[in-house]
Amino acid sequence: MLVVIPTKLSTVAADILEDNGYQVVQQAGADLAELAKENPTATAMIVRSEKITAEVIDSFPNLKVIVRAGAGFNTIDIKYARSKDIAVMNTPGANSNAVAEEVIGLMLAGCRHFLPADASTRSGLWEKAKFMGTELTGKTVGILGFGNIGQLLAKRLKGFETDVLIYDPYVSQDKARDFGVTLATKEEIFDKADFISLHMPATEETNKIINKDLLSRLKSGSVLVNGARAEILDEDALREVKKDKKIIFCNDVYMKDAAGDKSCADIADIMLPHLGASSVEANTNAARMAGNQVVGYLERGITTHVVNKAVPDGLNQQYQELAFTLGNIARNFLGTETSPHEIQVSFYGKLNDFNKWLIPSVVAGISHNKGLIDPNTAEAYLEEKGIALKIRETDESKNYGDSITVDLIQGTQSLSRVSVRGTLAEGNIIISRIADFDKLYYEPTGHSVVFTYQDRPGVLAQITQAIAAEGINIDDIRSPHNDSGNKSIAVLKVNKSVSSAIIEKVKTQLNCEAGFHFHS
């Protein structure tokens, strides 16, 4: 079998493949169309940041697996690949230490002014007093995003005797305690930290999440490092804040990884060409993992790290959408600023036979990540974040049919929890219960906004008036009481997203207990 590697990657991948009897064509920077013409029988492909579109996939008719030698796979059309029965895999963790070490280097280079001091000295000057710096040791460091990279960064920072604050709404208190770090809000980190490092994914929820309000809280002289994604930082806001505060901004990520002018050039004190994962060791680790994964998948059917797992025979894919939606609603109901410490799920009817394939969708909904997650990746994610999972035995005498109930529990001392149940009816996803508000029978398509409140006359009318006043059209409403009749819920299907500012305004004016927007 033939494997093509159109990228600059350690030859260890090719060595592993050739040792297992594969033919390998490795051409860094090769034109993919030409490569396909010359190698039409290729069975596998290993890539890094190359864009693998539907057209590229179609040009390799015998392709069975694509491995991304790295963690992110947003450059690969994973859904189209699945439609062609092609597995897409990644190599999570292979690059993490390289990025963590780069962040340490940027922090030190920033606070000690290494780059401008080097340029000054090379020019013949001796400006020792001008480049008086500060030390990393003993300072407070904030890490936003506590996945593999954030966790390794926290370990490396221990040698500097730092106090580490982390923001990650998907990490439990137990996990934070294990790493000797303290969970905090974004606001607390930007108020207290001397150094801040960003390690959040680029999603709809995180777009420009590092905004003017947060940046305005930074101490003068603090160091901000972005080695994650350009989309999460509002550059214009940083530009405005830097007019009044001396903030050292070290950047390694851009909207486009290519030569040319960079929008942050005027505000970045240090700019690197996305070098986070560019170490010999990281390249070798990713290559080794990729080579072994190709062999494991093609010869032994090992699907670890497959990110576009197929739906097994007998499972309607809409039930995965249902599982995602239930997790999404439950997480929004309890709030996204604090991590759940336990997920409890009940699968009724024949769905219990497919719980292995439905759990990843629940996890994706809770993590607000619509990327497909295979069972192994979901299990690893929960372990990484310190979140317990319990699949409950079901009482079929309740006659719930083929339905799913997701319970989300936050806190270990003062517990908060919510339970959400749903099913399919006439081919549509239906939410039948949220918390103790039963018989909702709500179809959660598009944008929805939810409020709960102490039952009293006129509140529902005021909610609809407040939403309409913002130019938002209401397409459907569900508003049952709870079992005891003292509380009500308003679930409104609307024609566009409702901002958090509007939701907070309605909650405050009408004294609502909960309020949130979700999109399905």
Tens-of-pLDDT digits for all 520 residues of the chain? 999 999 999 999 999 999 999 999 999 999 999 999 999 999 999 999 899 999 999 999 999 999 999 888 888 999 899 889 899 999 989 999 999 999 999 999 999 999 999 999 999 999 999 999 999 999 999 999 999 999 999 999 999 999 999 999 889 888 999 999 999 999 999 999 999 999 998 888 899 999 999 999 999 999 999 999 999 999 999 999 999 999 999 999 999 888 999 999 999 999 999 999 999 999 999 999 999 999 999 988 888 888 887 777 788 888 988 999 999 999 999 888 888 889 999 999 999 999 988 998 899 899 876 554 667 778 888 888 899 999 999 988 888 999 999 999 987 555 688 999 999 999 899 999 999 999 999 999 999 999 999 999 999 999 999 999 999 999 999 999 987 878 999 999 999 988 888 999 999 989 998 899 988 8
- What whole-number distance in Å separates Cα of residue 16 and Cα of residue 401? 49
Domains of the chain: 2-91+280-300 (3.40.50.720), 96-271 (3.40.50.720), 317-519 (3.30.1330.90)
Distances (CA, A) of 371 to 72, 99, 364: 11, 23, 7
**Per-residue pLDDT at 367:** 86
For the sheet with 195-198, list strands across it. Answer: 182-183, 163-167, 140-144, 195-198, 223-226, 248-251, 270-271
Are the C-beta atoms of residues 4 and 39 closer than 8 Å to each other?
yes
Query: How far from each other are the two terminal CA atoms of the chain, in whole angstroms?
Result: 41
**Amino acid identity at 275:** L
Tokens linked to 54: 């539907």
What lies within 8 Å, CB to CB, of 127 at 6+ separation is 117, 120, 121
